[in-house]
């Protein structure tokens, strides 16, 4: 496809930014400072990019209000990276699926479809399910019975939403994510055998949530803690973003605005506060409390409660700065053993 | 939906438990001790819940035979948590999919369907496959050729069962699980190039197995160890339960009753015994032996054989109690470095 | 199914190997040395298997040119394991899906299908997509618009290839893998709110690549580093093999011949060189450089750049031999604490 050209002045207007320099400049794409060509728009977020900005071949850049323009064409922005993000769809528009229900979609007769929904080929919608206005379901999405999906959601091919799950508005579910699969919990019978605890209390997902490809969010059972809410269900708050391959166990609550990076695993009945970040491949055990604003580092294993705003790293997780000091010392461990042996020899201490 | 009320006396009869107190009490739901309301059933498993029991607003509780009832309405049980689990479907019944083959199911002409199977919309069943009595396949399940599925299985939307796999009776496969994908193994050619070893020897799964959402169990090749069985195939024993996002490599054998928690990864050709537990996000390398009754902690990396009943933690995995002591000392490492330096100074030892 | 018998002489001819011993010997299967029966073919790769070879009941073995045959029937090979791999399909042939487009496949009118493609039941192919010669798409594969798939690819049930992705020739995509899902990246607005950076720059995959079940390879945004290439897209080089449950973040580049074992996670914008190996459940952070030939051990967390050919282990990752020495010392940590305390006592040092 031929890229479409946009004049810098038009871009400024579309993005609501002021322009300095050549407003007639034609741009055909976007790139980082090091890679951008003369017909590409780039961005710099602050003074530490001044050198890369000076060396860049970019035709124009989005820069902060007080950034030295060095005589180049710039757009002024109080959030250059966010405005660069807003410029992407101008250069690389995405075709939204057309509204309508494909002839091959199998929709239960008692399901409710709001206006302008888009149900692609081979979408299946179960009994008494409700799909909100303008929500788009890509091919091969399965919606089990009694699911409620809000407005302006997008659900990608292969995703599965299990019975009774509620999704808010503007929720994005990537491919092969499974929302509401049966939680993993067992009890011992009087005879000592393992029996399944039915985990069918459906998951509740807030507004503006994103759930990554191949992630799983499990249903709970009614004996899970309610945490002051009216139900004990697995709960994902508004604005939570979940990357690929993440596991959220039965009865977990994840507070507003929290971030779960790729391959995170949260054990059953754990509570995660608001604006928490779990780094890639980190995990938390069962029935823990991770408070608001906590930062869990990558590959970290949380085995006890985490305080508000606490930053932890390692396994078992310790305070972040302590982890840094431990890591330095840890690398010197073999040497430390030798030093202690030398001291013992000097003191005539027998090795056990 | 309006919750249905159940009298405590009826519940006692249904569950086969004796009742003490108000048998006419009407209950409409279940909850944990802290959350339960006056019209809800709860449970306590032993004396350490006596205080929470006393403070609970629950209308009635399932408690052990010798538990002090404090004058409240109780059901007596030798396994209160398991009986609570049995009560869940009474209050929250699940509609089973109706038997029958949906008009859109594509079933090979030489496949065999037993009585009362349920094949939902867009299920695909390959050539010479066999589906056992009363097994339920949800929408968009793919069964490759030559698969044999036992009786009373349930396979959820998006799950894939690859060619030749055998599932026993009462197996549950959650959504987007892949049973029998090609194992990951390569050999070097005489010219030093990497060549694929075909891993198409189909997986064998026993009875009462559960396989979580997005989990993968790989097929093997005929040169894998047979471990005294007639075949070298990847093998999952009876009663094994597997949580979400678990990987079971080619040629792995998992013994009866073993538990694999979320995000576990088992390397190719490894043998796992009976009643082993792998905690969440733990892993084992290739060609290892993890013996009966072993307990592998969460986030633990097993790199050598594990003895029967051994409990290990950490990476590399060490005996559980040792890990506890190491963790305590590990947190003191920065301080230990200083202490050793002070000793060296006092002794006039030059730092290298 | 009745196994088919093959004479050793015929096998030698088919595989292009020389035979010593009983060329008329009939073989019906393959197995490792310890398990093989008199009618089975096995293999030994070198002298350290001489004892197992001597004890084996195998009817015949593939062995190196200079391996002592001990009077047994052998096939001579310079790569016995690779030739054993080549023998597998002779004994266990796989039926390839027949060419043709199933009546239920939904193919956009402007999609292009090359000769002899195989599109199974319920395959969906989006607008302007191209499927190369002899490529086989199993049931329930979804190809989004503008995708280009090369020749001789095989894509298994439930896999999803998102908009614009390009796959080379002979690429294998296992079930429920998601290629080209939206990358996970956000920017802060001027008001401090989190905004999505659109990650729709499609993934590029080379020839002879294999992508495991439930693995995810994310799309990038145009501000990612280009690394000297013409585009900043997520890029998987020729001959890369990716096991199950692997996550490759937005804008990652993976060089030719690299191996990603099960459950690996690569953070966004990271560059991985040629012939690198990431062991099972290892991970790398964002924007790192892992150079050619590096070996990342299992469960290892890479948080800084890795040099060419460097071998690292642990979290944070350290040089492999150092990790071995650290691990030995780490297990002695509790004892070391005691030894230092004893020294302090002897020197009259007060504990803080």
Interchain CB contact of C215 with B (< 8 Å): no
Interchain CB contact of B247 with A (< 8 Å): no
Phi, psi dihedrals of residue C70, rounded to the nearest 5°: 50, 30
Residue C299's nearest CA partner among C261, C326, C325 is C261
Task: Check if the beta carbon of residue B58 is closer than 8 Å to that of residue B44.
Answer: no
| Residue C6: active-site member | no
Closest Cα in chain C, distance from residue A192 (Å): 34
Interchain CB contact of A235 with B (< 8 Å): no
Q: Distance between CA B187 and CA C87 in Å, rounded? A: 13
Task: Check if the beta carbon of residue A172 is closer than 8 Å to that of residue A190.
Answer: no
Q: Do B249 and C257 touch (CB under 8 A)?
A: no
Interchain CB contact of A28 with C (< 8 Å): no
pLDDT tens digits, A170-207:
999 999 999 999 999 999 999 999 999 999 999 999 99
Q: Distance between CA C327 and CA A49 in Å, rounded? A: 41
Q: Distance between CA B249 and CA B239 in Å, rounded? A: 19
List of chain B residues whose C-beta atoms are within 8 Å of the C-beta of residue C77? 190
Of B142, B216, B329, the CB nearest to C140: B142
- C9 φψ region: left (φ > 0), alpha (ψ -120 to 50), beta (else): alpha
Determine the pLDDT at residue B94.
86
Interchain CB contact of C218 with A (< 8 Å): yes
Please check the confidence at residue A61 and state whether its pLDDT lies above 80. yes
List of chain C residues whose C-beta atoms are within 8 Å of the C-beta of residue A77? 190
Closest Cα in chain A, distance from residue B192 (Å): 34
Contacts of A92 (CB under 8 A, 6+ apart): C198, C200, C201, C222
Phi, psi dihedrals of residue C75, rounded to the nearest 5°: -110, 135
Enclosing H/E stretch for A107: strand A106-107
How large is the average pLDDT for residues A87-92? 95
Of C187, C216, C336, the CB nearest to A79: C187
Determine the pLDDT at residue A352.
54
- Given 3-state DSSP classes, what are the helix, strand and coil percentages for chain C, each rounded to the nearest 5? 15, 25, 55
Q: Do C196 and A210 touch (CB under 8 A)?
A: yes
Share of chain A above pLDDT 70, in %: 99
* Token representation of residue C48: 């350290």
Using only C-alpha atoms, chain A has a radius of gyration, in whole angstroms, of 26
Residue A312's nearest CA partner among A284, A287, A332 is A284
Closest Cα in chain C, distance from residue B100 (Å): 20
Closest Cα in chain B, distance from residue A94 (Å): 27
The length of chain B is 352
Enclosing H/E stretch for C338: helix C333-347
Interchain CB contact of B216 with A (< 8 Å): no
How large is the average pLDDT for residues B239-268? 98
Share of chain A above pLDDT 90, in %: 94
- Burial of C168 per CB tally in 10 Å (0-12, 13-18, 19+): buried
Q: Do C187 and A81 touch (CB under 8 A)?
A: yes
Q: What is the DSSP string of A304-315?
A: S-B-TT-EEETT
Q: Do B197 and C81 touch (CB under 8 A)?
A: yes
Residue C337, CB half-sphere, CA atoms under 13 Å: how many?
16
Q: Hey, is A194 helix, strand or coil?
A: strand
Q: Do A187 and B81 touch (CB under 8 A)?
A: yes
- Closest alpha carbon within chain A to B36: A223
Low-confidence ranges of chain C (pLDDT < 50): none
Determine the pLDDT at residue B352.
54
> A82-99: string of b/e by CB count within 10 Å (b at 16+)?
bbbbbbbebbbeeeebee
Determine the pLDDT at residue C352.
54
Determine the pLDDT at residue C2.
60
Closest Cα in chain B, distance from residue C157 (Å): 7
Interchain CB contact of B345 with C (< 8 Å): no
List of chain B residues whose C-beta atoms are within 8 Å of the C-beta of residue A249? 262
Please check the confidence at residue A351 and state whether its pLDDT lies above 80. no
pTM metric for this prediction: 0.97
Determine the pLDDT at residue B96.
79
Task: Check if the beta carbon of residue B21 is closer than 8 Å to that of residue B73.
Answer: yes
Looking at chain C, which subunits does it touch, using at least 3 CB pairs closer than 8 Å as the criterion? A, B
Interchain CB contact of B337 with A (< 8 Å): yes
- Closest alpha carbon within chain B to C301: B315
Task: Check if the beta carbon of residue C199 is closer than 8 Å to that of residue C221.
Answer: yes
Catalytic site residue from A199, A221, A247, A250 = A250
ipTM: 0.96
List of chain C residues whose C-beta atoms are within 8 Å of the C-beta of residue B183? none
Please check the confidence at residue B341 and state whether its pLDDT lies above 80. yes
Interchain CB contact of C297 with B (< 8 Å): no
Of A35, A120, A174, the CB nearest to C181: A174
Please check the confidence at residue A213 and state whether its pLDDT lies above 90. yes
Please check the confidence at residue B159 and state whether its pLDDT lies above 60. yes
């Amino acid at each position: 496809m031929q890229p479409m050209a946009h004049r810098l002045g038009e871009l400024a207007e579309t993005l609501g930014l002021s322009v300095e320099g050549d407003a007639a400049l034609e741009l055909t794409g976007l790139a980082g400072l090091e890679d951008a060509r003369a017909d590409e728009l780039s961005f710099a977020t602050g003074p530490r990019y001044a050198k890369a900005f000076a060396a860049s071949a970019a035709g124009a850049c989005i820069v902060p209000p007080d950034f030295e323009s060095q005589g180049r064409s710039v757009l002024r922005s109080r959030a250059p990276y966010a405005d660069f993000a807003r410029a992407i769809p101008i250069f690389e528009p995405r075709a939204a699926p057309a509204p309508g229900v494909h002839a091959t979609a199998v929709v239960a007769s008692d399901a409710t479809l709001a206006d302008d929904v888009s149900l692609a080929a081979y979408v299946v919608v179960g009994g008494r399910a409700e799909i909100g206005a303008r929500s788009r379901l890509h091919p091969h999405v399965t919606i089990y019975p009694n699911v409620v999906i809000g407005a302006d959601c997008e659900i990608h091919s292969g995703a599965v939403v299990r019975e009774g799950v509620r999704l808010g508005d503007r929720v994005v579910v990537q491919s092969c994510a499974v929302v509401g699969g049966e939680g993993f919990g067992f009890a011992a019978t009087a005879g000592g055998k393992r029996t399944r605890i039915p985990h069918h209390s459906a998951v509740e997902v807030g507004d503006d949530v994103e759930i990554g490809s191949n992630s799983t969010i499990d249903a709970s059972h009614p004996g899970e803690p309610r945490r002051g809410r009216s139900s004990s269900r697995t709960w994902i708050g508004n604005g939570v973003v979940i990357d690929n391959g993440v596991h959220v166990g039965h009865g977990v609550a994840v507070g507003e605005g929290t971030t779960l990076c790729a391959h995170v695993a949260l054990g059953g009945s754990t509570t995660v506060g608001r604006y928490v970040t779990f780094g890639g491949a980190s995990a938390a055990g069962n029935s823990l409390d991770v408070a608001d604003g906590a930062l869990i580092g990558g590959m970290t294993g949380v085995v006890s409660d985490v305080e508000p705003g606490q930053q932890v790293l390692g396994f078992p997780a310790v305070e972040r700065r302590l982890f840094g000091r431990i890591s330095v010392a840890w690398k010197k461990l073999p040497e430390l053993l030798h030093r202690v042996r030398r001291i013992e020899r000097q003191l005539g201490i027998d090795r056990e």
